[in-house]
Homo-oligomer: A and B are copies of this chain.
């Protein structure tokens, strides 16, 4: 199909398609003239993935490019989980690994993981991200909000087991990696939205909903 049809079928403007081509997120079509190229169903599929990662998953263009390159060179399935997480992880501009408060928070995360017997390598970026959040609670003087920690870990375990089960039927390594990336990124958006809905409900049922008297 021509770029105009690709645009129509994907609901993406021609300008955006040209941007994704230039930025290396979308592979080039087959050139059929000086300024014309032919695109296939793979391009349509890739374009849908790009839009989902950026618009729904909230990824930056640069992060989406890294994630897509992991999808294009599938590694062994289990190692891919770590690779997908690594591309998705942001190093917080704020993080100061020399700060005793941050070190204490990271030790707290490691101890939580070990108590639960979770198999997680010591250099998993998500360990640092969890430490960032815990250190932030403490630096804001909101230590008591951390009473949620064990419940969060329970919920995370529940969700993650289902996440992994949901991709196991994929045979092709490329399909498996794509399912993992979509499940991680879009699944995160879904879980966060459901948490907000459940918060509205929990708040409505709580003393917070009573008129101030």
Contact = CB atoms under 8 A, between A and B. Distances in A.
Interface of A: 11, 45, 48-49, 51-52, 55-58, 76-78, 81-82, 85, 90, 92-96, 113, 118-121, 124, 126-127, 129-130, 132-134, 136-137, 139-142, 144-145, 147-149, 151-169, 176, 178-179, 182-184, 186-209, 211-212
Given A48-B139, A137-B182, A197 B130 contact: yes
B140 A182 contact: yes
A199 B186 contact: no
Contacts of A194: 126, 130, 152-153, 155-156
Nearest to A139: B48
Contact of A120 (B136, B184, B195, B200): B200
Closest CB pairs A-B (n = 4): A160-B198, A55-B94, A133-B190, A126-B196
A187 B152 CA distance: 9
A179 to B, nearest CB: 6
A137 B49 CA distance: 10
19 contacts: A52-B136, A52-B140, A76-B211, A77-B209, A78-B206, A119-B204, A120-B201, A132-B193, A133-B189, A133-B190, A147-B162, A152-B159, A152-B194, A157-B198, A159-B198, A160-B198, A161-B202, A163-B202, A168-B207
Q: Please report whether the interface of chain A is mostly helix, strand, loop or mixed according to DSSP.
A: helix
